Amino acid sequence: MRFNFLMPTRVIAGVGVLQTLPALLAELGGRRPMLFTDPVIGRTPFVQRALADLAAARLPVLVSDTCGIDARLTQIDAEAQRAIEAGIDSVVAIGGGSVMCLAKGAALAATNGGALLALRGRTRFERDPLPMIMVPTTAGSGSEVSQWTVLKNDIEHRKMSVGGPQNFPRIALLDPVTLQTLPQRVAALAAVDALTHAVEAYFTDAASPPTDALALEAARRLAASLRGSILERDPAAQFENLVASTMANMACTNAGLGLCHSLASPLEAAFELPHAVAVAGLLPHVFAFNAPAAPERARAMAQALGVREAGSALDAVAAAAALLERLYDDLGVPLRIPAEQVDRAALPVMAERAVTAIARGRTVQGPITPQTLILSQNLRPATVADGLRLYEASIG
């Protein structure tokens, strides 16, 4: 066996660690930071406290607080230009996955010509991004420990990603204070996104002992903590939720992602479907699709999710699907992708677009047919026809 595991991001976790932000910026040499957030998170007491702490440390801050539901290419380039003009030397993001990806994209574009589209598909860049500190406010995307910047290309109307070893944030700050004001629906969708990362990382062709350990433990911690974190607002469970989300993305940023993300990406781009809704609907069906190719892995993941019944691996998968349905129902997450949010007539085209949705530079030779393989790191190879069947099973 050969594998390559990389996690250069320093993770600092605990109650109150957000207050160390000025000192950490100083360690990175940051004297003129740019802080990214969104209009809602930007008004929270913990962001206002962070801004006050930076002002007290005599660190003038340029604030970007207009991030929307998704990080978008045109906004990334505009913010990169602001950073260049202001002489920014470091970046802080306090927000969810969209805010962090906006910040990461701007940090990279600002040092590489100001246009992120020119960097698409590269794995190494001429210059490192500005030093980045990420503070997640949802326990879901895991972008704080990911080399990938995922965004909407609002010029070509597609999702795209930019990444490479240089693109990891320097520091991730996990402070449970950031989850305390999170609306229940947002928290629930983010949590299922994190759970998808853990499951997907366990069923890729690049999975390794380190990523397996992270994926299984992240799934176990998420399954055990989500109701307490989201429904009861228990601080200890919220901290578990936050840490497990980061662990899940440590796994998938190294092991890659599978069919859930390949199939979700075209739907999100074409129909403005929220990412977490798409992957949540696909997860139980993709898990069942993978099980025959790796029954013992399927059993191990089912046990991590809380299955205790004896029986075959396929029995364990069915029990895990039932557990996921109960969890979704308790958290208020849709069991299926809402039919009114997608155009069923377009699903064959969506399945074809899934072929290269997260292909990471790989290409298809010749026309795409129902038997064309989706270019995914999924452990079980899937064709366009398989993708269409999974869409049909996932959309209610």
Helix, strand, coil percentages for the chain (3-state, nearest 5): 55, 10, 35
Q: Are residues 168 and 212 in the same domain?
A: no
Q: Which of 135, 150, 179 is the last residue of a domain?
A: 179
pLDDT value for 355: 96
CATH number at residue 311: 1.20.1090.10
pLDDT (0 to 100) of residue 353: 95
d(CA 118, CA 224): 43
Tell me which amino acid residue 9 is: T
Q: Do 51 and 114 belong to one domain?
A: yes
Closest CA to 60 of 69, 51, 49: 51
For residues 174 and 189, membership in a common domain is answered with no
Number of domains comprising the chain = 2
Vertex 74 angle, CA 73 and 75, to 5°:
90
171 and 191 fall within a common domain: no
- Domain that includes residue 229, residue range: 184-394
Of 81, 15, 62, give the one whose Cα is nearest residue 240: 15
Q: 206 and 318: one domain?
A: yes
52 lies in the same domain as 86 = yes
Enumerate residue ranges in the chain where pLDDT < 50: none
pLDDT tens digits for range 164-185: 999 999 999 999 999 988 999 9
pLDDT of residue 152: 87
Question: How much is the pTM?
Answer: 0.94
Query: Is 334 a domain residue?
Result: yes
3 within domain boundaries: no
- Tokens in use for 86? 């202001």
**How confident is the prediction for the chain on average, in pLDDT?**
94
The predicted structure's pLDDT at residue 361: 66
What SS3 state is found at 240? helix
Domain's final residue, options 179, 196, 214: 179
Give yes or no: residues 157 and 248 share one domain. no
1 occurs within a structural domain? no
